[in-house]
Amino acid sequence: MKQRKLQSLGQGKPQLITKAVTHIQLIEVNPGKLAALDALAPVFLSLCQQYVTFFCTEQQPDKFHPPVFRTLLSERWHRVAIQQAAGIAQSWRTNREQAHQDYLEELEAYQEQQADATQSLQAQEPVWKEWDVPTLQQTCIQANANVVLLEPSQDSTFDYWLKISTLESRQVLLVPVKLAAYHRQVLKGKIINTSVTLNKRNTGWWVTLSYDEVVPIQTAPSAPVVGVDVGIANFLTTSTGKHYGTFHGKMRERQKRDREKRRRKAKLRKCLEKKGVKKLPSTSSKSGQRLIRHVRQEINRAVNECFAEHLDVQFAYEQLSVATMKHKARAMNAYMRASNLAYSSQECSVCHYPDRANRPDQQTFCCLVCGFQTHADLNAATNIERRVGDMELRACKVRKEVKALLLSRHQIWKQQNGWP
Ligand SMILES: [Zn+2]
């Protein structure tokens, strides 16, 4: 069971979650029963791939795009392929756009540090590497009722029948579906969505069913707002002054070791390359991947703990949504980006003066102008909390605009408080 959709929190609309029921195997009552499905799969997949490439490179993804490629599939199956490809291309485009945005922000921060000479010696200019168009590798068919119909079985031996249209016109494949006890338990009283997903693995064909669940809003719009700062030293710091999770200690050590290991490997590669070795050892490491997984788990834990302790509040956070962070777990990126969160860690929460020098070290915030001093994360969380309803600030598109706005607010603060 996995959660697929989670709408943004606190928008006043009830949230709709699509829950998937996976691991239902299609039963092959007699050998060769699923041959028609096996024959359809590669034709479907190659058509779907054509549209994925098309929607990633030539046209905006459009589920209702008129057919442009030839195929043996029926018109209905053709439509299903277009729809599935549009979905894949859309999320590819969104993720690519987000990654590119991250890159631009990192680049801007890098150039800024270069300009004011605060750059560390090891700092390297970020490089953008264009993404490859996704390749469909596993057989996955997201079908709708036009081509795959799920019908309750009258017979007690099976729970459902799947009626699958095949490559042969008017030939329908009838496959029995038998649910496990826990599947039945989960689906009890639910309205199953008409779209089903078919997956082919080595072990045969599997079907995924899904249903929608409306989640009532648990937080009143008037509930107090708590700001959350996302950082490295502390994954989460709330404006109520609590910390959750940290990247220090053991994890930090592991990360350092991993980085060293990768560097050594990269050196070795270079060396072998010069000597004309064709097959080079990979620079990615098992321990590195384990580390990433571990960091994700730690962040999830921090998020859950923080949620559990703040049941009746609305959370305010910048740029990255906690839901996305939790579920898509682009966690490594999240904390990289967090360091760039438009000056929320550099801005003085009293006089608005934004300056990197306001933070003499990771933990301390000390304003160069007004002298306000506090824990650095608490200062950032306070800023983020205040930015919730700050439309002027939210309208800023790039870091430069944020900085200009904060400086103008700082001037106003100075005038109002009788500074020269
Ligand atoms: Zn200040």
The DSSP result for 312-372, as a single string, is TSEEE--SS-HHHHHHT--HHHHHHHHTTSTTTTTB-TTT--B-GGG-SSSSEEE-TTT--
Tell me how far the alpha carbon of residue 341 lies from the centroid of ligand 1, in angstroms. 19
pLDDT of residue 9: 40
Tell me how far the alpha carbon of residue 367 lies from the centroid of ligand 1, in angstroms. 5
**Hey, what amino acid is at 215?**
V
Q: Are 128 and 100 in contact (CB under 8 A)?
A: yes
Identify which of 40-49, 101-110, 173-182, 344-353 has the greatest average pLDDT. 40-49
Residues 6+ apart with CB under 8 A from 301: 245
- Judging by DSSP bridges, how do beta strands 225-230 and 314-316 pair with one another? parallel
Counting residues of the chain whose pLDDT is more than 90, the rounded percentage is 26
Tell me how far the alpha carbon of residue 378 lies from the centroid of ligand 1, in angstroms. 14
Nearest alpha carbon to residue 376 among 366, 387, 386 = 366
pLDDT band of residue 76 (cuts 50, 70, 90) is: very high
Q: How far apart (Å, rounded) are the C-alpha atoms in residues 336 and 12?
A: 31
Tokens of 107: 């680049």
Tell me how far the alpha carbon of residue 270 lies from the centroid of ligand 1, in angstroms. 49
Q: Are 149 and 163 in contact (CB under 8 A)?
A: yes
Tell me how far the alpha carbon of residue 365 lies from the centroid of ligand 1, in angstroms. 10
**What mean pLDDT do residues 183-204 have?**
88
Tell me how far the alpha carbon of residue 403 lies from the centroid of ligand 1, in angstroms. 14
Tell me how far the alpha carbon of residue 238 lies from the centroid of ligand 1, in angstroms. 20
Tell me how far the alpha carbon of residue 413 lies from the centroid of ligand 1, in angstroms. 9
Tell me how far the alpha carbon of residue 352 lies from the centroid of ligand 1, in angstroms. 6
Tell me how far the alpha carbon of residue 237 lies from the centroid of ligand 1, in angstroms. 20
pLDDT of residue 274: 75
Three-state secondary structure call for residue 148: strand
pLDDT of residue 244: 76
Tell me how far the alpha carbon of residue 350 lies from the centroid of ligand 1, in angstroms. 5
Tell me how far the alpha carbon of residue 366 lies from the centroid of ligand 1, in angstroms. 8
pLDDT of residue 339: 33
Tell me how far the alpha carbon of residue 404 lies from the centroid of ligand 1, in angstroms. 16
Is residue 1 scored above 50 in pLDDT?
no
Tell me how far the alpha carbon of residue 282 lies from the centroid of ligand 1, in angstroms. 49
Is residue 294 scored above 60 in pLDDT?
yes
Tell me how far the alpha carbon of residue 103 lies from the centroid of ligand 1, in angstroms. 30
Tell me how far the alpha carbon of residue 356 lies from the centroid of ligand 1, in angstroms. 12
pLDDT band of residue 280 (cuts 50, 70, 90) is: low
Tell me how far the alpha carbon of residue 414 lies from the centroid of ligand 1, in angstroms. 10
Tens digit of each residue's pLDDT (9 = 90 or more) over 235-273: 677 777 777 776 666 666 776 777 777 777 777 777 777
Tell me how far the alpha carbon of residue 377 lies from the centroid of ligand 1, in angstroms. 15
Of the ranges 223-237, 325-339, 384-398, 404-418, which one carries the lowest mean pLDDT score? 325-339
Tokens of 191: 């309205």
Higher pLDDT: 20 or 4? It is 20
Is residue 370 scored above 80 in pLDDT?
yes
The crossing angle, in degrees rounded to 10, of helices 75-115 and 399-416 is 50
pLDDT of residue 22: 82
Higher pLDDT: 255 or 112? It is 112
pLDDT band of residue 233 (cuts 50, 70, 90) is: low
Tell me how far the alpha carbon of residue 236 lies from the centroid of ligand 1, in angstroms. 23
Averaged pLDDT score across all residues of the chain: 79
Tell me how far the alpha carbon of residue 369 lies from the centroid of ligand 1, in angstroms. 5
Tell me how far the alpha carbon of residue 368 lies from the centroid of ligand 1, in angstroms. 7
Higher pLDDT: 129 or 16? It is 129
pLDDT of residue 29: 73
Is residue 276 scored above 60 in pLDDT?
yes
Q: How far apart (Å, rounded) are the C-alpha atoms in residues 230 and 244?
A: 10
Which DSSP state fits 192?
B
Tokens of 18: 């699509």
